[in-house]
């Protein structure tokens, strides 16, 4: 069997598709339940101190990595307190603390990646 034929899946219906080898499998890597709670957390925090509602993608305008790191560590501290049985000492619920960790980690990564892509040479079409 040639290498090309090995890369084809054939279904009982006769339909064929390429294999999943070397393809990102988002359905397996992510949890819709986690993403739902994360989106609820972000939506809850769209209301600013002045009562105005910020756009959901407002963070993509740019937040310094230092700000993300500082906030990340505060949320990690609350996760750690909950984990060690001292949840009463935390400033937020474990669910919110974990979502805060996710937000700040992804925001920090976004800032790193954005700089990489801005500095990336233009590709020829």
In-domain check, residue 68: yes
The rounded distance, in Å, linking the Cα atoms of 52 and 60 is 18
Q: pLDDT at residue 120 above 90?
A: no
pLDDT for position 65: 98
In-domain check, residue 96: yes
Q: pLDDT at residue 55 above 70?
A: yes
Q: What is the CA radius of gyration of the chain?
A: 21
Q: Per the structure, how many domains does the chain have?
A: 1
Both tokens assigned to 71: 């906030």
In-domain check, residue 55: yes
Identify which of 109, 116, 103, 100 has the alpha carbon closest to the alpha carbon of residue 57: 103
Per-residue pLDDT, averaged over 70-98, amounts to 98
Element (H, E) at 6: helix 3-6
Range of the domain at 93: 37-125
Both tokens assigned to 107: 């925001």
Identify which of 77, 83, 85, 81 has the alpha carbon closest to the alpha carbon of residue 101: 77
């Amino acid at each position: 069997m040639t290498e090309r034929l090995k890369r084809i899946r054939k279904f009982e219906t006769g339909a064929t598709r390429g294999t999943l080898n070397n393809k990102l499998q988002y359905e397996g890597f992510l949890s819709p339940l986690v993403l739902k709670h994360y989106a609820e957390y972000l939506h809850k925090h769209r209301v600013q101190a002045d009562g105005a509602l910020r756009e959901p993608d407002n963070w993509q305008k740019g937040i310094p990595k230092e700000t993300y790191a500082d906030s990340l560590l505060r949320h990690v501290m609350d996760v750690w307190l909950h984990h060690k049985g001292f949840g009463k000492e935390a400033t937020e619920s474990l669910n919110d603390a974990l979502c805060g960790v996710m937000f700040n980690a992804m925001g920090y990564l976004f800032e790193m990646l954005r700089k990489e892509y801005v500095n990336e040479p233009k590709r020829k079409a």
